[in-house]
Chain A
Amino acid sequence: MCPVLSLNNLALSRKKGVIRSTVAALALLGSGPALAQAPQSVQQSCMVCHGQTGENTIYPIVPRLNGQQVQYLAWQLQQFKKHTRADQNAQIYMWPVAQALDQQDIQALAKYYAAQSPMHSASSSRPGVSAGKQIFLQGIASQGIPACMACHAVNATGRGTFPRLAGQRYGYVVQQLKYLHDGSRANPIMQPIAAKLTIQQMQDVAAYLSGLH
């Protein structure tokens, strides 16, 4: 098995006294020196949609994974595997992936993506940022919507099983809020909150979160 080659790791090799060009030449010969410790599944499957580091995803509905909370990643993979996360895109894309993973794979993948440098915005800011910021930080008292930061942390980095949202893709955040809103993604905490959000409010909060670093 030839792991994905990373030039970051090539630089590390140089520090260890290995001649960089030699390593590169070996890699080009297909010998695949173990320079990057990406789990096999990353190259076998994940990278098609999420990219090798989790930052460059192929569609707006595909989430960034880099710097995500390790517990959240592992928990979601378990949910895909058990089919307890059952929104449409989970069924289409992630159920087939997760069924092939054993517990060891799940832990390795969660650790790998969590260890990558955190996700950040790749596009210019969208309208609705200030309204979204207000929802995230203060909630909407009149609708009984609590401040998102209470669980996701004030800078939206998440904690434990509460996911990082800062720098997440706009299209993914909106899509997931819709799934939570209509109940197709089951979550006892988020479902009742999302059920009260309007589409505009979902877009506003996604605009704010996707622009955070």
Chain B
Amino acid sequence: MEIKLQWKNKARWATCATLMVGAAAFSGNALALPTFARQTGWSCATCHTSYPQLTPMGRMFKLLGYTTNNVQRQQKLEAKFGKSTALLLMRLSQFSVFAQASYANVAGGQEAFNGAGVSNPPGNQNDIQFPQQVSLFYAGEITPHIGAFMHLTYSGRGGFAMDDSDFRWAHPWSFGPGQLLITGVEVNNTPTEPDIYNTVPDWYAPFSSSKYSAIRQIPTTFIEGAHGAGYPLVGVGTYEAYIFGPNKANWIYFEADGYTNADGIGAAANSGGAFGYGNDGRMQGVAPYVRLAYQRDWGNWNWEVGTYGMWSHLYDSPNTKGGPVDSFDDYDLDSQLQWLDTADNSNVTLRADWIHEDQTFGPGSAISSTTTGNLNSLNINGAYWLHDHYGVSGGYLDTWGSANADLWGTGYSANGSPDTNGEWIEASYLPWWNTRFSLRYTLYNKFRGLTNGAVGPEKASAYNTLELLTWISF
């Protein structure tokens, strides 16, 4: 669910960037939804090591369309038509609330982002967010095969917007004792949202950050930025999970979606109102997304390796259907290793993902003077949880690619370079499993091309960030 900001400098992209900051604030983290706990009677820790990191049981719950439940018969409304059941509807109202607050301290102050040409500095000596975001969910079974994860988020001045959400229809098919096929059809608004692994952009670590953190200012690939509220898309797709072998030893996960604008193109089509978040969903045609992953389970361990691709064509102008078209082709390799002591609620998860993006800018592009470019994002991290109360996590972030002063800007950057790398470490404490306090420090060796050897105030270390993050759900 972590979203970072890209494309900030060009005036034409100012709105887009603002909205993506908004998207970043909306994104935060997710799951361990109390509504799921109410529906199943199972604690957060059965499906998560610590939200939003899923366990195999959580993956199965998601694959089955959030429909697993342990409610009594009388807690469902059965509408009969003759002898057949026309509708079997949950009587429970499945609402949950997430609230987050944060404090961020950037070493160089928020002024460090006020470089020349930056049109939307993230804040002006403002580093507290209360609330960082408040999310309202309606999530769980609607009817026995249809479930929803509907996520609406308020983030202060960003207002309300749809955050990453999906509706899905799932069905299990048995092919004998050792084989299970789960098929699903879903509608979602964020690429990678339907996924079951925490190595994809919508669900990868670090899971939450203040919008005043420097991590929000690292250039991102298109798929990392194409998030819910910040980039109104609609995706329709299907997923299949084939689980076979003794003790669910082998999982193959396949997903295919097509994404296009959720709300038309152009300022008039989707501006204004509490839910009108501008005009930056401007796909030309449909962007296909294809995902394939394999998971191997043995004993208390499970290991995943996967890949995906997404091919997006965008109108260069945010408001106009027509004109130059830019292409962003994203390719990923990712892997996750997890050890679970299920009887003790202690666990380790190691994650890695690498995204490579090829960029092509149409003739006459106003956002890039070069015709091609590329961007890479490497995210390696891990977490250890003791009894799901005490956690230590950390990781290495690396972004590198073509310098592009038009696209990435020259403010707080060395000649439009996106190159950034650094390390982060985080300590967390959950007094209860719905309440989390985290303290994170992120140290940059390089930030948008700036190094620590640079002369003057613009150096990578000015963006080192200390964050205090709090979270409660109910």
Chain A interface (Cβ within 8 Å of chain B)? 1-2, 4-8, 27, 30, 36, 43-45, 47-49, 51-53, 55-61, 66, 88-89, 92-93, 95-97, 99-100, 102, 116-117, 122-123, 169, 171, 175
The answer to whether the Cβ of B137 comes within 8 Å of any Cβ in the partner chain is no
A204 CA to B171 CA, complexed, in Å: 40
Q: Which of B37-63 contact A (CB under 8 A)?
A: 40-43, 45-46, 56-57, 60-61
Q: Is the CB of B178 within 8 A of A55?
A: yes
A53 proximity list for chain B (CB < 8 A): 174, 176-177
Tell whether A7 pairs with B69 under 8 Å between CB atoms, given A48-B60, A95-B41: no
A117 proximity list for chain B (CB < 8 A): 177
Tell whether A60 pairs with B300 under 8 Å between CB atoms, given A1-B85, A1-B144, A44-B144: yes
Q: Is the CB of B173 within 8 A of A96?
A: no
Q: Is the CB of A58 within 8 A of B57?
A: yes
Chain B interface (Cβ within 8 Å of chain A)? 40-43, 45-46, 56-57, 60-61, 64, 67-73, 85, 88, 144-145, 171-178, 180, 243, 245-249, 297, 299-300, 340, 342-343
Contact of A56 among B173, B246, B300, B342 (CB under 8 A): B246
A1 proximity list for chain B (CB < 8 A): 85, 88, 144
Interchain nearest-CB distance for B398 vs A (Å): 35
A7 proximity list for chain B (CB < 8 A): 174-176
Interchain nearest-CB distance for B368 vs A (Å): 46
A123 proximity list for chain B (CB < 8 A): 246-247
Give the top 9 A-B pairs by smallest Cβ distance, nearest first. Answer: A96-B41, A122-B246, A100-B70, A55-B177, A53-B177, A52-B174, A5-B173, A96-B70, A100-B72
Q: Is the CB of B172 within 8 A of A43?
A: yes
- Not counting A57-B247, A58-B247, A61-B343, a sample of 14 additional A-B residue pairs whose C-beta atoms are within 8 angstroms of each other reads A4-B172, A6-B176, A7-B174, A7-B176, A27-B173, A44-B67, A45-B40, A47-B172, A47-B180, A56-B246, A59-B56, A61-B342, A92-B46, A175-B343
Q: Is the CB of B176 within 8 A of A99?
A: no
Interchain nearest-CB distance for A60 vs B (Å): 6
B72 proximity list for chain A (CB < 8 A): 99-100, 102
B246 proximity list for chain A (CB < 8 A): 55-56, 122-123
A60 proximity list for chain B (CB < 8 A): 247, 299-300, 342
A102 CA to B72 CA, complexed, in Å: 8
Q: Is the CB of A48 within 8 A of B68?
A: yes
Interchain nearest-CB distance for B37 vs A (Å): 9
A102 proximity list for chain B (CB < 8 A): 72-73
A44 proximity list for chain B (CB < 8 A): 67-70, 144
Q: Is the CB of A59 within 8 A of B342?
A: yes
Interchain nearest-CB distance for B60 vs A (Å): 5
A175 proximity list for chain B (CB < 8 A): 343
Q: Is the CB of A2 within 8 A of B177?
A: no
Q: Is the CB of A56 within 8 A of B178?
A: yes
Interchain nearest-CB distance for B88 vs A (Å): 7
Q: Is the CB of A93 within 8 A of B46?
A: yes
Tell whether A56 pairs with B41 under 8 Å between CB atoms, given A1-B88, A96-B70, A100-B70: no
Closest A residue by C-beta to B341: A61
Interchain nearest-CB distance for A7 vs B (Å): 5
Q: Is the CB of A88 within 8 A of B41?
A: no
A58 CA to B249 CA, complexed, in Å: 9
| 5 contacting pairs across A/B (C-beta < 8 A) | A5-B173, A7-B175, A58-B297, A61-B342, A66-B177
A40 CA to B64 CA, complexed, in Å: 14
A57 proximity list for chain B (CB < 8 A): 247-248
A66 proximity list for chain B (CB < 8 A): 177
Q: Is the CB of B343 within 8 A of A89?
A: yes
Contact of B70 among A4, A6, A58, A97 (CB under 8 A): A97
Q: Is the CB of B68 within 8 A of A45?
A: yes
A43 proximity list for chain B (CB < 8 A): 172
Contact of A92 among B42, B173, B176 (CB under 8 A): B42
A122 CA to B41 CA, complexed, in Å: 30
Interchain nearest-CB distance for A5 vs B (Å): 5
Contact of A58 among B64, B177, B248 (CB under 8 A): B248
A102 CA to B73 CA, complexed, in Å: 9
Q: Is the CB of A56 within 8 A of B247?
A: yes
Q: Which of B172, B177, B249, B340 has the most CB of A within 10 A?
A: B177
A57 CA to B247 CA, complexed, in Å: 5
Interchain nearest-CB distance for B1 vs A (Å): 24
A123 CA to B245 CA, complexed, in Å: 11
B180 proximity list for chain A (CB < 8 A): 47, 51-52, 56
Interchain nearest-CB distance for A212 vs B (Å): 15
Contact of B71 among A58, A100, A171 (CB under 8 A): A100
A171 CA to B69 CA, complexed, in Å: 26
A198 CA to B174 CA, complexed, in Å: 40
Contact of A8 among B88, B145, B176, B243 (CB under 8 A): B176
Interchain nearest-CB distance for B167 vs A (Å): 16
A48 CA to B249 CA, complexed, in Å: 14
Interchain nearest-CB distance for B25 vs A (Å): 34
Q: Is the CB of A48 within 8 A of B64?
A: yes
Closest A residue by C-beta to B181: A5
Q: Is the CB of B340 within 8 A of A59?
A: yes
Q: Is the CB of B177 within 8 A of A49?
A: no
Interchain nearest-CB distance for B100 vs A (Å): 27
Q: Is the CB of B69 within 8 A of A45?
A: yes
Q: Is the CB of A4 within 8 A of B60?
A: no
Q: Is the CB of B60 within 8 A of A52?
A: no
Q: Is the CB of A92 within 8 A of B248?
A: no
Q: Is the CB of B40 within 8 A of A96?
A: yes
A4 CA to B60 CA, complexed, in Å: 16
Q: Is the CB of A92 within 8 A of B43?
A: yes
Interchain nearest-CB distance for A9 vs B (Å): 9
A123 CA to B300 CA, complexed, in Å: 14
Interchain nearest-CB distance for B197 vs A (Å): 16
A100 CA to B68 CA, complexed, in Å: 12
B176 proximity list for chain A (CB < 8 A): 6-8, 53
A49 CA to B248 CA, complexed, in Å: 10
A130 CA to B50 CA, complexed, in Å: 41
Interchain nearest-CB distance for A119 vs B (Å): 10
